Structure 1
């Protein structure tokens, strides 16, 4: 039971609270998935939401103090002053005193505190002061580093903000409920207030609890709230449905904070914000469950337990041997506890926090915002990057290159209909729509506001891959205009238009059409088909079923040139052991040409239809053989990512659309951009302020540097601890006195810890970041057993030197013996970091950063000063004879030489991670 308690506390300690706080909101949501609506919600809130679902629009607006054209900015400001910003309170940082307490309460500090109390009870004031200093140093270092890290993370997080499209009335028309102009504004989500009207489209996070007023094919994912995997249709007229629902979450006209729009569009009234929402109320009543440990956290746990198990075995042995040989069981117990302190990696939390925080700050200078610090190590471990084509391999600046009829002849009519479609659609406007809308001269010529009026819209979704608008020309002629992927639009067409003729779409014409679009694709152009159908003027509401019997009139073709930086970035990623796989919903011919242009080998293209027919085992084999996947749905992307992970890869996924959200969550490290849709930014671990693979390559290198510096500390601690305990066992078995007093062992450990503070700021050899790095506890155990005894060899030489040369072989001369080993032990322990920080020759081929060099020199100087200076008596040390220092230099040189020779052998035999 004690071991289980210790392990649980240790696991809790390893999870830095500030790294989880940024994702607290998502954790809260995930904690609800298992039990759905089981968490208690105040009856008053449930009743208010039920009433809002039943009210008429007029009654609802009146009760909310709003109008059909929205609030004014002044009204919104007054409401915000009363209800507060649209934020959930649990995201606030811990108070300083509570943060300090969490920094203290870890097993290592508790062990040191227990030892300090025992020393105080035995009236050993010196040991009490030294041990107390170690506790204060460890706690304060972690407190300061975590505080700095949290503040840096908050500053970085402020760079990435989600917004909502809000309808606000102008102040001029504020007094007139029926009149007054209103305009759409993009506002930070925190500024929303009850009574606001918001416009929602595919990809939007729902920022508050809302009532749907107007909707068009609106589907919402409520998986975070209810655990339902399939999107749920929401619509405005749902009063009857609301009366019969078991839970308020099932009401078909209510939207809840934290869910997201999958497809369609809507106008909704904000009912509640912040803590007043359904989610916010739950968040103030429950504590989020910890996430499943990441690969990083699991690695730290495994490595730390290697050291802890070693201590649990060795410390009792030291205690028994010293008790039996010396006869003083109390002193043997204190000495064994001191050895336990020396074996515990009490600086590990500080080192981990410091290296991750430093990595986050460095990445921020490279326009990379780290939302979760643990993701930095996954960045470095990533060996497969899955990315979309648009904006990463290409310039993300699509231009309208062609507008042709069905047989490839330039057509202004096709451009006109494409423009009308893009202009009137209210859903998620993509780069293609923006390219069409940039034709300002066309907009002027069409006199859109005078000649055309929008009747209805059939929004885009990722299954149909097309969208339609219905427009009325001069009030009497109604036309449905459909625009989308060629295959999907053709599937809805029964005719084609050739000049003035309308021809039935038969097999021969279909082949000609496919030949024309194929030729455009071969040129690297992305082709979008445009089709039309005249519809009755009497009809006002349309659905997907109306996208039938269309007439194909032509195509608009876009060019998205490859980025100049794409080819060198791909080369750099390949040089660092990261394979790039392109996952796109685009045409396979266009994707293949872009890949060839940027130097990415295309050994066959896998289409989404092929993935549909594969089981998981077949998909796992397929993803290893190919690098280009086209015409994918969101589910296909998620399956590919999961298959790669199942094959043992650390997978990064870079995406910015709603169709990328499932894959972002499935990946080891989700990467998005600041311009992404809300749900993609919420799902990502890392946000790029610049959509570039070159920035990613820099992030990968920085992640590996961070990992490498953590590994230095762990390797050094493991090997030196093993060597020290082995030396203690040898000395305890043969010496008539303790080889070092508990107070001396503690001071040595304190100085050694201080010397490691600069490790996060050390340089890293280029060779060490060329390949992905992962935690490997087995390698650590081998490293510890291999290099640990090297220091023991020179410890035993020191014992022989002090025993036979300097005659420190009696109880009366034990202080001289202990002083001699104190200096050798501290200097070799401090020197080891320079020997194992690099596979190269230390100081000559690879030099440490100046902070680490400075700390090493300082601690070594203090170690020599203590027995030689005025504090020697205080720590029961004594001045060493001058010849000792000649022997000390020889021991240090011999130690460095032997370590270097054996390091060469180790690298040849096992490699060097």
Structure 2
């Protein structure tokens, strides 16, 4: 009788709930109704974009301008409204993408209803449901074990204990744990918000914007800006009401004009938009980003640990040959292999290949009396069988170099096959009980099963991409090291000709890290070793990504800086990974890296623009307070300048392609550039303002002075934009020139001159302003080059 028939007998014995029982439980609300928290709710998105500290400041200033007028001085308020609307729309797009992808990647447990095994959504489970379990399955609700066939549960994600726990009928299983070996079924005793994992999930959303250097850095910058704004704004208010004591409305307008540009109002918006659009772009490629900072995090990774099976190779295998040992007969061995395949209700990829080559019909008359589930720690599985003639025997199927003693003659043949990139399993008979810890020490080899793995056609190109980008790839596998090295060598991985057997790795973390840094391929790695290897690399300052699809990868995926799981992988790996490749394509990873680099590089660019404005605004306010003169600009002037030199360009720059490698210390890098740039811009504009105050007298002089200062500040800001936009492409040149043309149109159009209160008087002062801007531009270039040289030197010595 095959295992399929055996499974039918188990089902008949415990058929699970009937359709009527399920319907009654649904009516009573005894259903697993925990909503899938795939993203922020619509209300949370609106609240996060509307009710911000700086929106409150801008809103109050906008209301003040509406009272004192004119409306053109309140243009900044409409800009904020438009920016907020854009942010909400983009995050809603990302939410829809995340929600749809999360449904695709959601676990679908197998339950028994009316005597049949059916897959249902997690939300469809009811109280008392009989849920089947196999290797890699996640326990989705709490319950009691009803059936156990060598069932081993890993509860490390709940308890922190790495060792699997053997579960027997009647014992409790908790949601959030997963099966590492064997199989069985359990009865749901707690569903919905009563389940343990659901209670933990209530405390935080799955998708979050925390633990991001970009987000944390921007929050830190905003904190500094707030500290600078408060005392500066107070001083500016006192100064303007003192200077313009005869005209309170003008004092208000000048005060608001000084405070508004201090606020980097669009920086948070553009960061959110960049993340959101990144999620949408990756979603189109069937890549589910379970935590938004993972886009950024993978771009910072310098080491990628790859599990061979399911990453470099496809999940399926084929039996290529059967090498008989010690006089074994082929028909007998074929029957044993067929019986072993039929004995396992949850075969892994290797055993499935054997089942395909030796179907269960070849084991007619054989009966299973006991089984030993495969464990990645043991490296073998087994079964106790009774032959048609009544002879009882115990068999093991697993790694030859684990089951055979060192120096055995068959190992030479194994090494030769491994050198060809083939996977080899040993079929051996043991004279001990399967549960005997020394079962593998007393074996009689009968055959070598030679398996051929299917390479992913895109794996080689992906490895070359990482090599070109300076990301070190480490292949970490539980298979034979020589075989793994042969596969990796076929794909062109540097260092694949020097594979390392992980059983000989030093236990000391520092010593292990040195070996890991030198090597590229590691075989015979246990699940705990995978976790230790990730930790060892991290201890040497590496940002580590781990890819995998099997249960044995879960612990390493959890500890890595970025965990990447295949969509076809086990539920446990998908649950702990930050990124899930739903199309099971390793070739999608370069797209994630590129998207992360686009976000990091572009946000660094636009942050420099925004903070340059903040720095010169604070400096101008301080200079005005010290000189006790009217503030040089009205709100409409700075709205125009911000729109042309920051708002519109920043939107395009934030979403542009960018392959620049991610660099650390976001806040320091941005402040190194924006601080000197802001000081130079502020000093140039103030010098032009003082020159105009000296040159112009009489009626209308204040408007002429403001116009001269506005011209200088525009030229300085457009120079900063030209520097930030490098390296130039055709569209970036068009972008910068377009902003210049737009400003010239305002200067030469009478109606726009009146609307923005811009009127250049004479020729000597405007040309002097151009000269001041030219000198300021040269100083900008020198300071920029000096900062860039220091940064490159620091990066080279890091």
Q: TM-score, normalised by structure 1?
A: 0.76
Residue 476 of structure 1 corresponds to 390
Measure, in 1, the Cα distance between the counterparts of 2:328 and 2:370: 30
The Cα of 1:476 is off from its aligned counterpart by: 3.4
Residue 642 of structure 1 corresponds to 535
Does residue 521 of the first structure (1) align with residue 407 of the second (2)?
A: no
Contact 1:382 1:650 in 2 (8 A): yes
Measure, in 1, the Cα distance between the counterparts of 2:482 and 2:397: 20
Residue 142 of structure 1 corresponds to 87
Residue 732 of structure 2 corresponds to 848
Measure, in 1, the Cα distance between the counterparts of 2:13 and 2:260: 68
Measure, in 2, the Cα distance between the counterparts of 1:640 and 1:816: 68
Measure, in 2, the Cα distance between the counterparts of 1:410 and 1:725: 89
Could you report, residue by residue, the CA deviation over 1:525-569 in whole angstroms, capped at 9, with x for unpaired residues? 211111225799xxxx96767666443212111122544433332
Measure, in 1, the Cα distance between the counterparts of 2:181 and 2:47: 47
**Alpha carbons of 1:224 and 1:392: their partners in 2 closer, same or farther (altered >3 Å)?**
closer
The Cα of 1:347 is off from its aligned counterpart by: 1.3
Written as runs of structure 1 = structure 2, the 5 A alignment for 1:854-865 is 856=739, 860=743, 864=747
Measure, in 2, the Cα distance between the counterparts of 1:102 and 1:591: 49
3-state secondary structure, aligned to 2:109: strand
Contact 1:478 1:534 in 2 (8 A): no
2:373 to 459, 483, 487: 459
Does residue 609 of the first structure (1) align with residue 555 of the second (2)?
A: no
Residue 302 of structure 2 corresponds to 383
Measure, in 2, the Cα distance between the counterparts of 1:190 and 1:903: 56
Residue 669 of structure 1 corresponds to 562
Contact 2:677 2:720 in 1 (8 A): no
Residue 160 of structure 1 corresponds to 105
Contact 1:525 1:590 in 2 (8 A): yes
Structure 1 stretch 325-334 or stretch 648-657: which is displaced more?
325-334
**Alpha carbons of 1:208 and 1:682: their partners in 2 closer, same or farther (altered >3 Å)?**
same
Measure, in 1, the Cα distance between the counterparts of 2:714 and 2:746: 7
Written as runs of structure 1 = structure 2, the 5 A alignment for 1:377-456 is 377-406=296-325, 411-427=330-346, 429-439=347-357, 442-443=358-359, 446=362, 448=363, 450-456=364-370
3-state secondary structure, aligned to 1:481: strand
The Cα of 1:765 is off from its aligned counterpart by: 5.0
Does residue 353 of the first structure (1) align with residue 272 of the second (2)?
A: yes
Does residue 587 of the first structure (1) align with residue 480 of the second (2)?
A: yes
1:261 to 162, 179, 192: 179
Measure, in 1, the Cα distance between the counterparts of 2:730 and 2:516: 40
The Cα of 1:626 is off from its aligned counterpart by: 2.1
Written as runs of structure 1 = structure 2, the 5 A alignment for 1:781-792 is 781-792=671-682
Measure, in 2, the Cα distance between the counterparts of 1:598 and 1:475: 49
In the alignment of these two chains, the number of paired residues is 780
**Alpha carbons of 1:227 and 1:659: their partners in 2 closer, same or farther (altered >3 Å)?**
closer
Contact 1:351 1:760 in 2 (8 A): no
Residue 29 of structure 2 corresponds to 83
Contact 1:664 1:670 in 2 (8 A): yes
The Cα of 1:580 is off from its aligned counterpart by: 0.7
Written as runs of structure 1 = structure 2, the 5 A alignment for 1:538-557 is 549-557=442-450
**Alpha carbons of 1:629 and 1:299: their partners in 2 closer, same or farther (altered >3 Å)?**
farther
The Cα of 1:214 is off from its aligned counterpart by: 1.2
Residue 494 of structure 1 corresponds to none
Structure 1 stretch 371-380 or stretch 80-89: which is displaced more?
80-89
3-state secondary structure, aligned to 1:460: strand
Measure, in 1, the Cα distance between the counterparts of 2:742 and 2:452: 62
Contact 1:296 1:378 in 2 (8 A): no
The Cα of 1:460 is off from its aligned counterpart by: 1.8
Does residue 192 of the first structure (1) align with residue 129 of the second (2)?
A: no
Residue 106 of structure 1 corresponds to 52
Does residue 232 of the first structure (1) align with residue 232 of the second (2)?
A: no
Does residue 821 of the first structure (1) align with residue 706 of the second (2)?
A: no
Contact 2:235 2:625 in 1 (8 A): no
**Alpha carbons of 1:67 and 1:519: their partners in 2 closer, same or farther (altered >3 Å)?**
closer
Does residue 684 of the first structure (1) align with residue 577 of the second (2)?
A: yes
Measure, in 1, the Cα distance between the counterparts of 2:223 and 2:668: 12
Contact 2:291 2:579 in 1 (8 A): yes
**Alpha carbons of 1:795 and 1:776: their partners in 2 closer, same or farther (altered >3 Å)?**
same
Measure, in 1, the Cα distance between the counterparts of 2:509 and 2:62: 57
3-state secondary structure, aligned to 2:731: coil
Gaps of 5+ in 2: 1-9
Contact 2:289 2:579 in 1 (8 A): yes
The Cα of 1:318 is off from its aligned counterpart by: 5.4
The Cα of 1:483 is off from its aligned counterpart by: 0.9
Structure 1 stretch 99-108 or stretch 701-710: which is displaced more?
99-108
3-state secondary structure, aligned to 2:265: coil
Structure 1 stretch 882-891 or stretch 400-409: which is displaced more?
882-891
The Cα of 1:87 is off from its aligned counterpart by: 3.8
Does residue 910 of the first structure (1) align with residue 791 of the second (2)?
A: yes
Q: TM-score, normalised by structure 2?
A: 0.86
1:220 to 153, 161, 165: 153
**Alpha carbons of 1:444 and 1:254: their partners in 2 closer, same or farther (altered >3 Å)?**
closer
**Alpha carbons of 1:609 and 1:909: their partners in 2 closer, same or farther (altered >3 Å)?**
same
Residue 4 of structure 2 corresponds to none
Could you report, residue by residue, the CA deviation over 1:168-221 in whole angstroms, capped at 9, with x for unpaired residues? 43xxxxxxxxxxxx4433433233333432221232110222221111332323
The Cα of 1:678 is off from its aligned counterpart by: 0.5
The Cα of 1:687 is off from its aligned counterpart by: 1.2
Measure, in 2, the Cα distance between the counterparts of 1:699 and 1:279: 29
Residue 487 of structure 1 corresponds to 401
Gaps of 5+ in 1: 1-60, 170-181, 239-252, 492-506
Does residue 575 of the first structure (1) align with residue 465 of the second (2)?
A: no
The Cα of 1:425 is off from its aligned counterpart by: 0.9
**Alpha carbons of 1:278 and 1:785: their partners in 2 closer, same or farther (altered >3 Å)?**
closer
Residue 707 of structure 1 corresponds to 600
1:368 to 273, 282, 287: 287
